[in-house]
Each structure stands twice: as structure tokens, then as C-alpha cells.
Structure 1
Amino acid sequence: MTGIGNNYQVASLSNCFVIGVDGKADSYGGIFKIDEEQVQLMKRRGGVGHDLSHIRPKGSPVKNSALTSTGLVPFMERYSNSTREVAQDGRRGALMLSVSIKHPDSEAFIDAKMTEGKVTGANVSVKLDDAFMQAAIDGKPYQQQYPIDATEPTFKKEIDASALWKKIVHNAWKSAEPGVLFWDTILRESVPDCYADLGYRTVSTNPCGEIPLCPYDSCRLLAINLYSYVVNPFRPDAYFDFDLFKKHIMLAQRIMDDIIDLELEKIERILQKIDSDPESEDVKRTERLLWQKIYKKSGQGRRTGVGITAEGDMLAALGLRYGTEEATEFSENVHRTIALHAYRSSVVLAKERGAFEIYDTEREKNNPFINRLREADPELYEEMKQFGRRNIACLTIAPTGTTSLMTQTTSGIEPVFLPVYKRRRKVNPNDTNVHVDFVDETGDSFEEYIVFHPKFVTWMEAQGYDPSKRYTQEEVDALVAKSPYFKATSNDVDWLMKVKMQGRIQKWVDHSISVTINLPNDVDEALVNRLYVEAWRSGCKGCTVYRDGSRSGVLISTKKDKKNELPPCKPPTVVETRPKILDADVVRFQNNKEKWVAFVGLLDGHPYEIFTGVLDDDEGIVLPKNVISGHIIKNTDENGNKRYDFQFENKRGYKVTIEGLSEKFNKEYWNYAKLISGVLRYRMPIEQVLKLVSSLQLDSESINTWKNGVERALKKYVTDGTVAKGRICPNCGNETLVYQEGCLICTTCGTSRCG
């Protein structure tokens, strides 16, 4: 909601959007329409989610030149790249991609992010139905089909549910994705889905997963700081001020309803801006229709997202240890209070301003969430039947990462990460006055600094400890052991109890809860399996796990893990004497109008030498097109003269030898090849060799073209994710290029260059 009061920023106030296409949407037109809508929302600072279950599975027949469908994974990469393109120069890109487990390509979706550098611009979650979960637990088969909701699908297959479930668990353990969405629970509990036939059928979630939404609906988020209602925190007489809390919930719901009207005004300004833009109507049509749909849905349902932050600090300040039954019972009472008073406020608003326009008490009478409210407060339910409700749904619990930095508390319903930790702050590529301490696998840069959790400092002060004193790690550990944060951090809380706590709180939240279960590095996959199954059984709507070190995070423990500590780094071994026979790869390239070939000799899989020559039927090298590897053999005659031969195996299994590679080279090329082979032999990093080759100042146009071919031949040996230091993206001008599958990819704008 950063746009409130800012008349110079034509942006939405909504944090979350979900988009989609009505009816069939598996054509290129439908797929690209979603892509355009996605970036149009992101440029207005919105996070976007959409579902891919509508895309036909890989291998399906299509009526175009491709003949068969590519499946959904290539489009994951497209949507991801669009997010990274828009996430620059102050704009934000946040994306959630989901797919039903019933989709035949769901396994490929689950594996898509296991390749480093792939789909880096999106969170991915798989939608699991109850039938799949039961089949996975019971070891029974499960049917996948397309279309997923069809009574007579065009394609179906039976799979081993247990095997696919194990893959979900393994990938989550390995890389923290995919997240899981328990889709039947979401639909069953969803109040807006009582109006599914009127356009409120939930299809996906926002990027963090706390707001399941129908297409073209949006939501704005507000977080109430639970810690601020603890009187005398960290003292024996501490208590929670429920009276003040109830008043503020009523006000919070009223504020959120007011903000919907401000949002509608903002959308009107966006539409005016579109009208005034100089582009043709054809260019502007998609963006205009997009915002018109959002305007209608926002005004019709008036959805709000009242939530909380600082659950962990609230419990600690009351002397309750996170994860215990006593703490969970208290939290459940807090969230029941929020639900009852937010809905009471919405009923009061309906009396004053009118109910949301499609409210129908008959549609909602069998909804489990509404029935919980009726049992807890029959009077509230009777008033809601009489006057209606102002908002179709009211509640959520977001991650509140940035909000918790402002409130200096724990985030969402999470426990404290650590009382003392390192934090990483992402560095803007345009900011030159920062110190970069860490670069992740996609090339994003971060600054690191040590932080004491603010409420741990408050506890220290309450107990008479001096926070300004310089403590040793041992002294800090001793203090933590005395505090209410002991055994209540994200790494050592009772994880199963935490999942059960989430399920009990979820019963009083009409949308969803964004939660990550933080686990230490040494846990096994069996624990992840138990946590996910317990989350499903406990009534959670979704769940994500993060195993420490499974991917680059923002918060880092200050303690060293001696078990995982690596030995001192040694330089790569240099082999002075070349073995007689080396494995070799063959790389073909164009040098002006001539076809050339490079033979790259490999030692332990690392480039050791390179030979190049013309592919020719006369004086050059004769080599069948199917040959991509072989051996380079070094021979020395009785006079000490050296000769390098290339040997390969033909289709019939016979060895064929091309003798005297060096005799086929122009001497000028040979000298440069010797230079490059020399630095390869002494194990200069490949990315530095490429930098050296690129910097060669050569007079001849032919030799410069040859140089480009050598670069192309060597790029394939650069480890994926390696940062191209000192290289500038030609498109956006940022120094954020990384090597990926032999190509240079900009992690800022998505530009790629191969060859």
C-alpha cells in the first residue's frame, strides 16, 4: 500500500493478484495473454499468482508447425524471466506458479527448479487433492488426466502416487521447493468459493501463498503487532490486553474496507493513465481490460487481508515457550478473537454501508469456517444473516518480513529465527557505495551484518543485563539459555507441534497462512515427509520447508557447523607432464564463411588444451557430422618431434585416426591456440580464460571470428551460475551476468546471449 497519499505514483494499493483466462486457455494466445497481464501488474508493484493446469501436457497433438505440445515447463521459464525483467530499477516482481497434481506434467513441474538457475523468478507450489494424499500414504495408484476437471478427459494415465510424493518430499528437502497446497482443504474452507459460479472460484494463490484467489481478484494486507498488546513484557506480571486488542481489530477491519475505496480510486487513475498513453488502442487493450476486471472484482467482493505479526515475540513476552501446548492454546484463543471481531466489524459495516453485492446467507450456511463462527458466537451469526457482511473474506496471515523489520519483532506466526544472527540485504546493482559480502547462485549480490533480535535485547534489559556490552559467543549462548527464546527458535522448536499449531490457527483464518518450517541442515527426508503429512491431517492449507543451507537464504546462523566445515581450499592440481591420451570433445563453429572444428582435450573433465582447424575435404580435417567426442593422442618420434592425432570410433565400432592435427593449422592460429592451451594447462578458471580470449586485440577479421569460435567452444565448461565478473549486460547495463549452459544470462533483465 505504498501508493497511499502519493499522487506522483500511478500504482495499485493491492499486494496480491491472481490472473487467469476463462474457459480453454492452452493456446499460445491464452498463454501469452497471461504473460502480458503478469508484467502489467508487476510494473504497478503487485505480486501475481496463476495456475498452469490449463496448459496441455507435453506430447499432446497441436494444429501448428510444432505438431506436439512442449508441455508447461518451458512456459514456467518464460513467466519466470518476465518477472526478473520487471524486477529492476525500483519495480518489484513476485510470482507464484501452481499446478494440480492431477496434471500429467506435474512431475516435470515439481522437478523444474532442481536445475540451478532455472525458474529463478517464481515460487512454485503443487496443488494436492485429498485423493492423491490418501493414495500416496496407502501406496495406491492415482489417475492423472487432462483437462484436470473433465468428466471425459482427452488424456489420462495411472501413476504411482507414493513415488511422486517421495519426489515432492525429496525436492523440498533438497531445495525448499515446491511448496504444497492442500487444495481440497482450501476449496472446502473457502468462503468466497460459496460464490464459485459467480466468478469466485479459487484457482491459485499470491506469491507467498497466504491469499488463495479467483482470477482478477486482489487483496490488500494489514498486520496487527501482537507484541504491542503485551503489558509488562518479559516480567512475571505480564498479560495480554484483550480489551484493547478487540477494539483495534474492529478498527483494522474498518480501515481495510476504506482502503478498498482508495484502491478503486487508484484503479480509476490507472485507467485514466492508460487512456492518455500515446499508444494505439490495439497496444493498450489488454492492460485496460485487465484493470477493468480487477476494478469489478475488487468492488464486488471487497476482500480484505487483516492479519498479524509478532506471534513469537508475544508468546515469549508472556513467558510462554513457542511450540508448547500452553502457548498453542493461547495463540488459538488470540486468533479466534481476531476472527470473531473482524467479522463483527464487517457486519457493522454492512449495516452502515451495505453488504458486498452478491452476499447470500443460503450459499454460506454449510461452509465450515462460517459454522465455526456460528458456534463460537451465535449472536454474530444471526446479525450476519439479517444485515449481511461488507466483505466476502477478511483474514490472512502473511510472512510480514519487511513489516517485522519495521516493528522490530518476529514475523507472522513464526518463532524467532535466532536471537543473534547475520542478515543479508540484497544490493541494488546501481548502488556503487555498498560492500558485497555474498553472491548467490543466480548472481544477485548481498551485504551481510550481525543483528541482535530487538526483543531479545528487551528481555536482557528487563533482566538487568547490559545490551551494550561486548559478549563472547559462549556468553550469548548462556543468556539465550536463560531466556524464553531458549528451545523456541526456528531451528530447535518442536516442528510437529508447530505444524499442529498452524492447523489450529488456520481454523480461524478464512484465507490462508504463509508459513515456512525452518529445519537444521542435518535432518533427513523422513522428517519432511512427516511434517507434510501432519500439515495435511491438521487442516493446514499449505506448507513449505526450508532446510538450513539447502539454498541461499537471507538470514544466517553465526555459529560454525564444525561437522560441515570444509578443509582449507587447495589450488587445482597442475599436471606438468601431459598424459599420452586425453579424452576430447568436438565443437564445430563458423569462421567467416568457413566451417571449423575445435578439439578440446580434457583432463579429469577439465579443459587441458585446444586445437582448431578447417573442416575440409582436401587440405583440412575430414570428420563425420555425428562425431562429438574421441581422444587426442600425443606421439613423439625418435627425434623428439611431437605429433597430435585425433581418434574416434565410427558407427561400426572401428577406430578412425586423423593424424597430425597441428599440420592442418595456419601458424598464426596455432600460436594463439598454444597460448590458450598454456593457461588451460595451469588451471586458470575457465571464466578467466574466456575473459583473456575476449580481450585479445587481433588485426585480422578472420582471426577475430576464430576467437569468437574458441570462446563458444570453451563456454560449455563454465560451471552454471558462475558470475561473469567485470562483464556488463548490453541491455540493462548492470554487472549481473552469469554463465548458464554455455550462455551468458543477465539475472537482472533476463537477457541471454549464446555463442
Structure 2
Amino acid sequence: MMGIADMLNQLGIAYDSDEGITLMGKVAARVAEVGYRTSAELAAEKGASPVFDYKSYSKNPFFQEVLSAKTKQLIKKNGVRNVALLSIAPTGTISNIVVSFSQGEKNYIGVSSGIEPIFALFYTRRAESFGNQFFKVFHSTVQAFLDEKGLTKKAEKAKTQDDLKEILPDHFFHTAHRIDPFQRVQIQGICQQYVDHSISSTVNLPEDIEPEVISDIYLHAWKNNLKGITIYRDGSRYPILTSDETGKTEFQRMKEKEFRYGKNSESVVLRGDDIISLPNGRLSTVYHFLKNQKGELQISKS
């Protein structure tokens, strides 16, 4: 599955709106229903899976709660051809190279990945063949809107996504870095009800996110019955995609500074993102220690 965020963009619906979440749930439910019905029809034609046993299969909560009575009856009669059917795989790379749709004589390349929101409205690319010039590449549904309205030249002058607010409808701005992470978990949880295997989904977080918030996100994911979730904190590894969202965060600026960490008569020089051991045995970065002002450590700017 790919392009669900683009579908919402084309319909003028914000990804994390109540209407958008409801529609995503309906799409996932429809995919599950058709998938299992087709598997039962294939079982009638080619035979059921050798390990299929209706007595135990019918006790599966997914079978009991998700599928329609008609599909359940078909499975009871024919069995299913497949042991499991549904998974939303990681499609971050291939989603960027497929032809999403055509408008007039123009093909638009790239769709949103899996059930994830659009990563960014645009990214900046450097072309060596054009004298190392930089140019903007807009997401496909954004570019299609700009082309239709004749706004491409005006949009190319934008330096950040906020600069596009005068020419793009609000629903476009619900991108990966702007959606509440707990809302992302809730959306994935709704879709997970209709997917018998796991869903690939990455929650994008700012670099200065508190460790406690990350812990709460994982706990929230467990409570929403997710089979898996990925957290990506900006700056934690070299990015495959980057966003032109904002300037440096407070944490990014802190990383470039040096601090003298003193305990008893000894002291060492540390960076803002270096890990230290607190008196209570817990670990912290210099940045988070200074921000929380806890403990009895002596840390001063060198």
C-alpha cells in the first residue's frame, strides 16, 4: 500500500484530521475484506493452505472482529489459500520512483510511503550537470496543484514550508514533522486493526526530544496494539531524506558548545550531546542535565 496521504491531499483532507483518520480506517478495512475474500475464492480454485484448520482459525480475533459474515462463511466453506495476507511494507525508496499519476501530458513521480504522511512539501537538490545549481523538488501532489493553479514559479521562491502558506491550502501542511507523534500512533493503531501482520511506519521527532517522551510514544504504541513502530530523531544518523523545516534547534546549537564537567577534584571537557552518569546512576546528556537542573554535578561552560 502506498499513496494514502496523496489520496487525502487530492480530496482536500488533512492527514491527521478526524475525517482523514476515519477514511484511512475505511480503506484499510476494505483492503482486508477484499484480500481475505479473494484468498477464500483462490482456495476454492486451487485448494486451501495445507495448515488451514477452520476450528482453530475461527477463534482468531482478526477473523471474528474484522471480516464480514459473508467472507467468514466463504472461508468456512473453502478455507483460505494464504496463511496470512496483509502487511504494509517499508516503501520509502520505491515510493519516490514510481509514477503516481498523469495530468495532461505530464507524469508526476513519487507517492507518499505506506500509510505515512508526506515527508515534506519539497526538498532541495543539487545538480552537478547544471553547474552545481540548487533547485526545489516538490512532492508530486503539491507539484500537480501548483501546475494546475499556475503557481510553480512563485512557489520556487520559497525558502521554507511556511513561505508556501499564502499559496497552498492548509491540508498540504500536515507533513511528517508537523503531526503530533501520539496522533501518528493513534492513526497507525486504527489501520493496524485491519492488517494481520505489521505496519512499517516511522515517527519523525525533533533532535531535542526528551527521552521520556520517546518512552511514552512506545508505551502509547503498545496500548494501541501496534505490532511495530520506528522512531527517528533528527540528527541521530545521516538522513536519507531531509526537510527544510526550520533552522538549528536548541539541542543542535548546544552540541557545538563545550562544557567542563566537574566531579570532586576531577573535570573533563564534554560536548552538549555527550552522555554523563548522574549520582543516582541514571544516564543523561549534558544538554538534558542543564535543561532539567537536577543532581549535584558541577557543569560550567569552558
Tell me the TM-score normalised to structure 2 length. Answer: 0.72
- 1:348 and 2:45 are equivalent in the alignment: no
1:740 is matched with which residue? none
- 1:401 and 2:107 are equivalent in the alignment: no
Kindly tell me: are residues 317 and 484 of structure 1, through their superposed partners in 2, closer, same or farther at Cα, counting changes over 3 Å? Answer: farther
Q: How many residues align?
A: 241
1:421 is matched with which residue? 123
2:297 is matched with which residue? none
The Cα offsets for residues 630-668 of structure 1, whole Å up to 9 and x where unpaired, read as xxxxxxxxxxxxxxxxxxxxxxxxxxxxxxxxxxxxxxx
The Cα offsets for residues 672-721 of structure 1, whole Å up to 9 and x where unpaired, read as xxxxxxxxxxxxxxxxxxxxxxxxxxxxxxxxxxxxxxxxxxxxxxxxxx
**Structure 1: unaligned runs, 5 residues or longer:** 1-307, 425-432, 438-447, 570-603, 605-755
Cα deviation, residue 313, structure 1: 1.0
Cα deviation, residue 395, structure 1: 0.8
| Distance in 2 of aligned mates of 1:530 and 1:491 | 18
- 1:379 and 2:70 are equivalent in the alignment: yes
- 1:333 and 2:26 are equivalent in the alignment: yes
1:749 is matched with which residue? none
Alignment of 1:422-441 (within 5 A): 422=124
- Counterpart of 1:477, as a letter, is D
Helix, strand or coil at the partner of 1:557: coil
Helix, strand or coil at the partner of 1:517: strand
The Cα offsets for residues 505-562 of structure 1, whole Å up to 9 and x where unpaired, read as 0010011101110112232222212211110001101111111112111111235514
Helix, strand or coil at the partner of 2:229: strand
Cα deviation, residue 453, structure 1: 0.9
Alignment of 1:167-186 (within 5 A): none
**Structure 2: unaligned runs, 5 residues or longer:** 100-109, 257-268, 270-302
Alignment of 1:299-318 (within 5 A): 308-318=1-11
Kindly tell me: are residues 473 and 489 of structure 1, through their superposed partners in 2, closer, same or farther at Cα, counting changes over 3 Å? Answer: same
Kindly tell me: are residues 394 and 434 of structure 1, through their superposed partners in 2, closer, same or farther at Cα, counting changes over 3 Å? Answer: farther
The Cα offsets for residues 452-493 of structure 1, whole Å up to 9 and x where unpaired, read as 11111112234x133245632258634346324444111111
- 1:472 and 2:157 are equivalent in the alignment: yes
Alignment of 1:723-738 (within 5 A): none
Alignment of 1:666-685 (within 5 A): none
Kindly tell me: are residues 337 and 484 of structure 1, through their superposed partners in 2, closer, same or farther at Cα, counting changes over 3 Å? Answer: farther
- Counterpart of 2:33, as a letter, is L
- 1:530 and 2:209 are equivalent in the alignment: no
Helix, strand or coil at the partner of 1:555: coil
Are the equivalent residues in 2 in contact too, given 1:459–1:483 (CA < 8 A)?
no
1:412 is matched with which residue? 114
Report the RMSD for the aligned CA atoms in angstroms. 2.9
Kindly tell me: are residues 553 and 476 of structure 1, through their superposed partners in 2, closer, same or farther at Cα, counting changes over 3 Å? Answer: closer
1:219 is matched with which residue? none
1:164 is matched with which residue? none
Kindly tell me: are residues 396 and 475 of structure 1, through their superposed partners in 2, closer, same or farther at Cα, counting changes over 3 Å? Answer: closer
The Cα offsets for residues 43-82 of structure 1, whole Å up to 9 and x where unpaired, read as xxxxxxxxxxxxxxxxxxxxxxxxxxxxxxxxxxxxxxxx
The Cα offsets for residues 74-103 of structure 1, whole Å up to 9 and x where unpaired, read as xxxxxxxxxxxxxxxxxxxxxxxxxxxxxx
Helix, strand or coil at the partner of 2:14: coil
Kindly tell me: are residues 466 and 473 of structure 1, through their superposed partners in 2, closer, same or farther at Cα, counting changes over 3 Å? Answer: closer
Kindly tell me: are residues 562 and 503 of structure 1, through their superposed partners in 2, closer, same or farther at Cα, counting changes over 3 Å? Answer: closer
- 1:514 and 2:200 are equivalent in the alignment: yes
Helix, strand or coil at the partner of 2:176: coil
Kindly tell me: are residues 528 and 552 of structure 1, through their superposed partners in 2, closer, same or farther at Cα, counting changes over 3 Å? Answer: same
Kindly tell me: are residues 530 and 475 of structure 1, through their superposed partners in 2, closer, same or farther at Cα, counting changes over 3 Å? Answer: closer
Kindly tell me: are residues 451 and 471 of structure 1, through their superposed partners in 2, closer, same or farther at Cα, counting changes over 3 Å? Answer: closer
Kindly tell me: are residues 449 and 555 of structure 1, through their superposed partners in 2, closer, same or farther at Cα, counting changes over 3 Å? Answer: farther
| Distance in 2 of aligned mates of 1:557 and 1:321 | 19
Kindly tell me: are residues 384 and 475 of structure 1, through their superposed partners in 2, closer, same or farther at Cα, counting changes over 3 Å? Answer: closer
The Cα offsets for residues 163-203 of structure 1, whole Å up to 9 and x where unpaired, read as xxxxxxxxxxxxxxxxxxxxxxxxxxxxxxxxxxxxxxxxx
- 1:552 and 2:238 are equivalent in the alignment: yes
Alignment of 1:642-681 (within 5 A): none
Alignment of 1:13-24 (within 5 A): none
Helix, strand or coil at the partner of 2:232: strand
Are the equivalent residues in 2 in contact too, given 1:422–1:449 (CA < 8 A)?
yes
Are the equivalent residues in 2 in contact too, given 1:311–1:414 (CA < 8 A)?
yes
- Counterpart of 1:399, as a letter, is P
**Identity across aligned pairs (percent)?**
34
| Distance in 1 of aligned mates of 2:194 and 2:158 | 41
Cα deviation, residue 350, structure 1: 0.9
Are the equivalent residues in 1 in contact too, given 2:111–2:140 (CA < 8 A)?
yes
Kindly tell me: are residues 478 and 460 of structure 1, through their superposed partners in 2, closer, same or farther at Cα, counting changes over 3 Å? Answer: same
Helix, strand or coil at the partner of 1:412: coil
| Distance in 1 of aligned mates of 2:4 and 2:93 | 15
- Counterpart of 2:22, as a letter, is E
Are the equivalent residues in 2 in contact too, given 1:316–1:484 (CA < 8 A)?
no
Kindly tell me: are residues 475 and 401 of structure 1, through their superposed partners in 2, closer, same or farther at Cα, counting changes over 3 Å? Answer: closer
Alignment of 1:32-111 (within 5 A): none
1:503 is matched with which residue? 189
Kindly tell me: are residues 521 and 465 of structure 1, through their superposed partners in 2, closer, same or farther at Cα, counting changes over 3 Å? Answer: farther
- Aligned counterpart for 1:366 among listed residues 44, 55, 59: 59
Kindly tell me: are residues 559 and 380 of structure 1, through their superposed partners in 2, closer, same or farther at Cα, counting changes over 3 Å? Answer: closer
| Distance in 1 of aligned mates of 2:198 and 2:42 | 23
- Counterpart of 2:59, as a letter, is N
Kindly tell me: are residues 477 and 364 of structure 1, through their superposed partners in 2, closer, same or farther at Cα, counting changes over 3 Å? Answer: same
| Distance in 1 of aligned mates of 2:174 and 2:222 | 23
2:247 is matched with which residue? 561
Alignment of 1:204-353 (within 5 A): 308-353=1-46
| Distance in 2 of aligned mates of 1:358 and 1:350 | 12
| Distance in 2 of aligned mates of 1:560 and 1:504 | 31
Are the equivalent residues in 2 in contact too, given 1:423–1:554 (CA < 8 A)?
no
| Distance in 2 of aligned mates of 1:554 and 1:450 | 17
The Cα offsets for residues 602-641 of structure 1, whole Å up to 9 and x where unpaired, read as xx9xxxxxxxxxxxxxxxxxxxxxxxxxxxxxxxxxxxxx
Helix, strand or coil at the partner of 2:238: coil
Are the equivalent residues in 2 in contact too, given 1:400–1:411 (CA < 8 A)?
yes
From the CA coordinates, give the structure whose radius of gyration is larger.
1
Helix, strand or coil at the partner of 2:179: coil
Helix, strand or coil at the partner of 2:242: strand
